[in-house]
Amino acid sequence: MSCCAPGAELLRGETADEELLLASRLVDDGLRQTDLAVPGIHCGACVRTIESTLGKLDGVVNVRVNLSNKRVTICWRGAVPPPFLAVLKTSGYDAHVQDILADERNDPALNSLLRSLAVAGFGASNIMLLSVSIWSGAEPDTRDVFHLISALIALPVLAYSGQVFFQSAWVSLRHGRTNMDVPISIGVLLAFGLSLYETVHHGPHAYFDAAVSLLFFLLIGRTLDHVMRERARRAVYGLARLSPRGARMLRDDGSQLYLPLDEIEPGMTLLLAAGERVPVNARILKGRSEFDCALVSGESAPQSLNEGATLQAGLLNLTGSVTILATATAENSFLAEMMRMMEAAETGRSAYRRIADRVSRLYAPVVHLTSFLTFIGWMIVSGDAHRAITIAIAVLIITCPCALGLAVPMVHVVAARRLFEAGILMKDGSALERLAEVSRVVFDKTGTLTFGQPKLLDFSELGDGKLALAAAIAAHSRHPYSKALASATEELATVTFETVSEYPGAGVEARSHEAVYRLGRSDWATTGRQPDVEHGNEAVVLSMNGQRMATFRFDDRLRSSARETVAALNGMGLDVEILSGDSNQRVERVADELGLARSATARPADKVQHLTELRQRGHKVLMVGDGLNDAPALMTADVSMAPGSAADVGRNAADLVFLRDGLEAVPLAVHVARRANALVRQNLGMAIAYNAIAIPVATFGLVTPLIAALAMSISSVLVVSNSLRLRLPVHPRS
């Protein structure tokens, strides 16, 4: 996959700081993020070099390299960008700005690999035919002619097909380091050089077939690796294609202007025709239409939305034209957030990956030393330089650490794609390992186990503008009860609020002149009162200066999949409990309906304390929740999940985000994580076992360079194939 997307040439070479600053985006107070494409990334050694080199620059806070898409994400502070491109150029890597929205249908890297593979395959097949004749007992003169023809075929094949490995190895050595391509290149060149020497001196042995076949097998593995990574990444570019190139802005004078996507700002009024996709997060100002919301909810049936409805970027307008108000920029939209989470899936460093990285870092020098010692040993034992060099070449080839380098990241890439297909976005690859080890699952209730969209009961009996006043206060909160109140009436309150503050777990406070209005729990809104519960329905109290004005009661329903989810988790050996800020009666009723053995009622601080105690007792905790109240708990748990409908702070705090309405995503994610963990261990075991067997076999001279090339390639293919088993259908209860 080439990272050189169309239009990405903006920042090649010596780029002005102003242009690089424009290509960066603000992610926090003073913290900026720059995404660079570095096509020269080939292996774990490249990842470590880039991360350590850029990490030393002044102002750089964090550097992460994604091996799959050859992308570098840099977080930095300061008025002027650090010299990323110059430092990378000095280290031997050309870089430019990554354009995630570019058309990726054309893949120059894959085309180059396929051409190199075709040339190597043509050369290997023809040289192998000549070798068969030699092995069959050809006369010396005939053998010399066949060796010469083989050399004439092998030389251009190595020059063309081998440049994939030679260029990478040369750049690495020129900057004083090694990578996986170094032993490959040395092995190929030594095999060719020894064979050429034998041909010139009319020797009986030549290994042109081994040199060219090694390239052929290596290119098969590298092409397969490229294709598998590309398939896993197609989801990201599928999301990118859901975003339109721009939208029509409605000016104050009634005229229209088409704006590119990156020029749309919050507060702009946009026109959305039938058949167009929502460009950025927005709210409907005028009109009514049906929308395909499968991207967010997974629901295939169209949803009818009218004025006031919230739209996420990427939704498809099916029937009518609507006027919408942009509420976010393109880079801060829901669609862009999903793309960033998908790309971040492989970036995390799990314990297994850190082990594999450390082993790979030491592997190349160990391989070179082993090959050299093998040569010295066979020279001492046999005194035959030809045999010693041949065995040393076989050792160099058979011990290439390709399988070890693929063991962990390939599983993470496939797992990220498998979860995405189920509507689950993974923000960090290390979350897989933590999720696989959970022993207890803690659910929030409102918005998680229940639909979180309560309906207001008996509001027709409320008069005197109390409902309008409560709705005006509730409009400042995203709590489900507040949203239900805000949408219950179109009447506008005549009270003007000076300040409005939300207190997580309690309610909303609004001040107007001398009056203090509170909307929330009755024991907080009034003086000396306890929470009201009537017929199982939660009560929210509106008060003025501590005196009750009105009581609003709601009804909520369990999600249809809640029982099945709890049963599936119990069947996987996990303990499940509720940790909610709602009333004891309400929480106990839900616990009884779901058959949970335990439940707890807690404010935000209590949730954090409870999760901390569970972890101190040795539990690995998965927290599933949404909204402002759950953010501290989501960050405290070992691993966390939140629905796509959660508040922004909840989605940002969670390790995984599920987009579908049902809770089936929770046991599914746990099951995928457990399978991924098992496959990682199997891959590492296969890689270690392969080398434990291969090194002694090659050292004792029991394999030729050709057999060594075949064995090394097969080990890589086995690791990739084993990782792809994760794409098979999963059964969470198994």
**Residues classed as catalytic:** 444
Residues 6+ apart with CB under 8 A from 36: 71, 72, 73, 74, 84, 85, 88, 95, 96, 97, 98
- Locus of tokens 């929470």: 531
State how far the Cα of 475 lies from the Cα of 59, in Å rounded to an integer.
Answer: 40
Q: How many residues does the chain have?
A: 734
* DSSP β-bridge partners for residue 249: 257, 270
Are the beta carbons of 411 and 723 closer than 8 angstroms? Answer: yes
Helix intervals (H) in 548-662: 562-571, 584-594, 604-616, 631-636, 648-653
Query: CA 252, 258, 259: angle at the middle one, nearest 5?
Result: 95
Amino acid in the structure at residue 479? H
Can you read off the two tokens belonging to residue 547? 């005196």
Tokens of 23: 């290509």
User: Residues 6 or more apart from 648 whose CB is under 8 A from it?
Assistant: none
User: β-strands 537-544, 533-534: how paired?
Assistant: antiparallel
CA distance readout (Å), 213 to 106, 220, 397: 28, 10, 12
Q: For tokens 């009105």, what's the residue? A: 550
Nearest to 581 by CA among 507, 640, 649, 505: 505
Structural contact between residues 507 and 524, judged by C-beta atoms closer than 8 angstroms: yes
Distance in angstroms (rounded) separating the CA atoms of residues 665 and 147: 61
Measured from the Cβ of residue 127, the count of other Cβ atoms closer than 10 Å reads: 25
